[in-house]
Structure 1
Amino acid sequence: MGNGATRTLERVAAAMGELESAPIEFQATCDVAQGGVLLALPALLAAGLLSCTARLYQLPKGFYGIESLFLLLGLMALARIRSLEQLRYQAPGEWGKLLGLDRIPEVRTLRAKLKLLCQDLGRAVRWNAELAKEWIARQNATELYFYCDGHVRVYHGDQTALPRHYVARERLCLRATTDYWINAMDGQPFLYVNKEVDPGLIATLKQDVIPWLEANVAKTPEQQRRLAEDPRAHWFTIVFDREGYSPELFEKMRAKRIAMLTYHKFPKQDWRSEEFVAHSVPLAGGETVTMKLAERGTRLSNNLWLREIRKLNDSGHQTSILTTNFQGPMATLAASLFARWSQENFFRYMREHYSLDRLIEYGTEPIPDAILVVNPEWRKLDSQIRSKTVPRSRLAAQFGALALSEAPTESELHGFQQRNGQLREEIQILDVEIDKLKQLRKNTKHHIPVNSLPEEDRFTRLRTERKHFIDTLKMIAYRAESSLASLLCEHLARGADDARALLRQIFQTEADLTPDLAANTLTVRLHHLTQATHDQAIEHLLANLNATQTVFPGTSLTLIFKLGSS
Structure 2
Amino acid sequence: MLQSYIPFLPEGAEPINNHMAIYRHDEKIEFFTASGPIYSCQESDLYGLRLAQGIIVTQTATTPAEFAKALNINRTTVYRNLNRYQQDGPAALIIDKKSNRKAYKLNATAKRQVQTLLNKGYSLKAAAKQAGITEGCIRYAIKKGTIVKKKQPDEKPEPHQKLKSASERSTEDNNCAIGIAAKREAERALASTGKIIEATPHFSAIEGVRHGGVLLALPALARVGLLEAGRKAYGVLHKGFYGLQSVLLTLSFMALLRIKTPEQLKRCNPGELGIVLGLDRAPEVKTLRKKVKEIGLRNKAGEFISFLSKRWVDQDKDVIGFAYIDGHVRPYNGSKHKLPKTHVARRRLCMPATTDFWINDAKCEPLFFVTAEANDSLLSMLEKEVIPELKKLAGKGNRVTLVFDREGWSPKSFERWFKADIDVITYRKGKYDPWPEDCFIEVESHVRGKAVKYLLGERSIKINKNFWLREVRRLCDDGHQTSIITTRQDLNCEQVARRMFFRWNQENFFRYMREEYALDHLVTNDVEPADVERLVPNPEKKEKRKLIKRFKREVEKLKKEYGDKAFQNDETRHPTMRGFNIANSGYKKKVVKLEKEIEQLKIDLKQIPDRIAVKHLLAEHEIVRLETERKMFTDG
- Structure 2-normalised TM-score? 0.63
Within the alignment, does 1:170 sit opposite 2:170 as a pair? no
1:29 corresponds in structure 2 to 206
| SS in structure 2 of the partner of residue 37 of structure 1 | helix
1:180 corresponds in structure 2 to 357
Output one character per residue of 1:346-389: Cα deviation in whole Å (capped at 9) or x when no partner. 11111111000001111222112343322322343455577789
Greater Cα offset, 347-356 or 24-33: 24-33
Within the alignment, does 1:115 sit opposite 2:284 as a pair? no
Contact kept in structure 2, 1:247 and 1:302, CA below 8 Å:
no
2:381 corresponds in structure 1 to 204
- For 1:92-491, list aligned pairs within 5 A: 92-121=270-299, 123-141=300-318, 144-219=321-396, 223=398, 235-283=399-447, 285-300=448-463, 304-381=467-544, 440-455=604-619, 458-472=622-636
Whole-Å separation in 2 of the counterparts to 1:130 and 1:385 = 55
| SS in structure 2 of the partner of residue 293 of structure 1 | strand
Query: What are structure 2's unaligned runs of at least 5 residues?
Result: 1-177, 561-570, 572-579, 581-588
Whole-Å separation in 2 of the counterparts to 1:430 and 1:273 = 55
> How far has the Cα of 1:433 moved from its partner?
7.5
Specify whether residues 445 and 216 from structure 1 end up closer, same or farther in structure 2 by C-alpha distance, changes over 3 A only.
farther
Contact kept in structure 1, 2:337 and 2:622, CA below 8 Å:
no
> How far has the Cα of 1:129 moved from its partner?
1.9
Whole-Å separation in 2 of the counterparts to 1:80 and 1:438 = 58
2:256 corresponds in structure 1 to 78
> How far has the Cα of 1:63 moved from its partner?
1.6
Higher relative contact order (CA 8 A, sep 6+): 1
> How far has the Cα of 1:267 moved from its partner?
4.1
- The alignment's C-alpha RMSD in Å is 3.3
Contact kept in structure 1, 2:360 and 2:506, CA below 8 Å:
yes
Within the alignment, does 1:53 sit opposite 2:230 as a pair? yes
> How far has the Cα of 1:124 moved from its partner?
0.7
Contact kept in structure 1, 2:320 and 2:362, CA below 8 Å:
no
> How far has the Cα of 1:302 moved from its partner?
5.3
| SS in structure 2 of the partner of residue 96 of structure 1 | helix
2:568 corresponds in structure 1 to none
Contact kept in structure 2, 1:146 and 1:183, CA below 8 Å:
yes
Whole-Å separation in 1 of the counterparts to 2:494 and 2:548 = 46
Output one character per residue of 1:394-453: Cα deviation in whole Å (capped at 9) or x when no partner. 99xx9xxxxxxxxxxx9xxxxxxx9xxxxxx99999998777656544433233333233
| SS in structure 2 of the partner of residue 51 of structure 1 | helix
Contact kept in structure 2, 1:144 and 1:237, CA below 8 Å:
yes
2:187 corresponds in structure 1 to 10
State the identity as a percent: 42
Whole-Å separation in 1 of the counterparts to 2:501 and 2:593 = 49
> How far has the Cα of 1:198 moved from its partner?
1.8
| SS in structure 1 of the partner of residue 318 of structure 2 | coil
Greater Cα offset, 72-81 or 303-312: 303-312
Specify whether residues 272 and 359 from structure 1 end up closer, same or farther in structure 2 by C-alpha distance, changes over 3 A only.
same
Residue 333 of structure 2 aligns to which amino acid in structure 1? H
Residue 318 of structure 1 aligns to which amino acid in structure 2? Q
Contact kept in structure 2, 1:367 and 1:450, CA below 8 Å:
no
| SS in structure 2 of the partner of residue 178 of structure 1 | strand
Specify whether residues 378 and 188 from structure 1 end up closer, same or farther in structure 2 by C-alpha distance, changes over 3 A only.
farther
Aligned residues: 435
> How far has the Cα of 1:51 moved from its partner?
2.4
Specify whether residues 428 and 74 from structure 1 end up closer, same or farther in structure 2 by C-alpha distance, changes over 3 A only.
farther
1:548 corresponds in structure 2 to none
- Structure 1-normalised TM-score? 0.70
Specify whether residues 130 and 137 from structure 1 end up closer, same or farther in structure 2 by C-alpha distance, changes over 3 A only.
same
| SS in structure 2 of the partner of residue 50 of structure 1 | helix
Residue 244 of structure 2 aligns to which amino acid in structure 1? I
Contact kept in structure 2, 1:154 and 1:177, CA below 8 Å:
yes
**Structure number, greater radius of gyration:** 2
Whole-Å separation in 2 of the counterparts to 1:336 and 1:427 = 60
Whole-Å separation in 1 of the counterparts to 2:445 and 2:605 = 50
1:497 corresponds in structure 2 to none
Whole-Å separation in 2 of the counterparts to 1:383 and 1:139 = 56
> How far has the Cα of 1:343 moved from its partner?
1.0
Whole-Å separation in 2 of the counterparts to 1:429 and 1:301 = 48
> How far has the Cα of 1:202 moved from its partner?
1.5
1:539 corresponds in structure 2 to none
Whole-Å separation in 2 of the counterparts to 1:427 and 1:211 = 58
| SS in structure 2 of the partner of residue 177 of structure 1 | strand
Specify whether residues 133 and 428 from structure 1 end up closer, same or farther in structure 2 by C-alpha distance, changes over 3 A only.
farther
Specify whether residues 456 and 125 from structure 1 end up closer, same or farther in structure 2 by C-alpha distance, changes over 3 A only.
closer
Specify whether residues 456 and 46 from structure 1 end up closer, same or farther in structure 2 by C-alpha distance, changes over 3 A only.
closer
Specify whether residues 209 and 114 from structure 1 end up closer, same or farther in structure 2 by C-alpha distance, changes over 3 A only.
same
Output one character per residue of 1:470-511: Cα deviation in whole Å (capped at 9) or x when no partner. 111xxxxxxxxxxxxxxxxxxxxxxxxxxxxxxxxxxxxxxx
Output one character per residue of 1:211-268: Cα deviation in whole Å (capped at 9) or x when no partner. 2223332146xx5xxxxxxxxxxx1111111111112221221221211111111242
